């Protein structure tokens, strides 16, 4: 059972990747988002928590911090508040497109709703469209006709 405890707190062999989230913080963030986010659900992942609006992954919780998805349309809000990106390994090796939300924003439901709406829009815009199914081109009618009108050798 020790193995299961290690998996729950999720350590990566290379070092410092750990994203535990307290149940209290997780529930508080859910309570703050619930009135404004349609289809809100969350899911434990890698020791942290992924937050969805329907099928759109727009936020994550790690080490009792809320991070929202960003792009050029909303990044300035986070930078102006002095917040930075999520670094899953604790250093600059990998930077994800999620920025930390200031505590003051989480505390005010109306303000958090506006920030979350922008993050959901970013998630929806970033979703890659499904590749269309391309059917194989039909055999040329000429080839079909050649096969059916083949001359039989004369004897």
Is residue 61 in a domain?
Answer: yes
Q: Residue 55 sits in which domain range?
A: 2-148
pLDDT digits (tens, 9 = 90+) for 26-50: 999 999 999 999 999 999 988 899 9
Domain assignment present for residue 154? The answer is: no
Is the predicted pLDDT of residue 118 greater than 70, yes or no? yes
Whether 155 is in a domain gets the answer no
C-alpha angle 53-58-64 in degrees, rounded to nearest 5: 105
In a domain, 122, yes or no: yes
pLDDT of amino acid 5: 37
Reply yes or no on whether the pLDDT at 10 is more than 50. no
Evaluate whether residue 153 is within a structural domain. Answer: no
Considering the domain boundaries, does residue 53 fall inside one? yes
Are 83 and 70 in contact by the 8 Å Cβ rule? The answer is no
Residue 104 within any structural domain of the chain:
yes
pLDDT of 59 > 80? The answer is yes
- Phi first, then psi: give them for residue 118, nearest 5 degrees: -65, -40
Share of the chain above pLDDT 90, in %: 59
How many domains are there within the chain?
1
> Residue 45 belongs to a domain with what CATH number?
3.30.1460.30
DSSP state, 57? E
Mean pLDDT of 89-93: 70
């Amino acid at each position: 059972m020790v193995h299961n405890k290690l998996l729950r707190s999720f350590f990566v062999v290379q070092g410092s990747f750990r994203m535990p989230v307290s149940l209290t913080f997780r529930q508080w963030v859910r309570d703050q988002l619930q009135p404004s986010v349609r289809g809100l659900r969350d899911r434990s992942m890698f020791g942290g928590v992924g937050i969805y609006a329907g099928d759109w992954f727009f936020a994550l919780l790690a080490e009792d911090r809320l991070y929202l998805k960003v792009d050029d349309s909303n990044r300035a809000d986070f930078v102006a508040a002095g917040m930075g990106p999520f670094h899953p390994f604790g250093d600059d090796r990998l930077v994800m497109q999620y920025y930390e939300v200031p505590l003051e924003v989480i505390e005010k439901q109306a303000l958090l709703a506006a920030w979350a709406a922008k993050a959901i829009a970013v998630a929806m815009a970033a979703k890659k469209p499904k590749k269309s199914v391309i059917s194989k081109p039909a055999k040329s009618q000429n080839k079909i006709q050649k096969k059916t009108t083949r001359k039989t050798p004369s004897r």
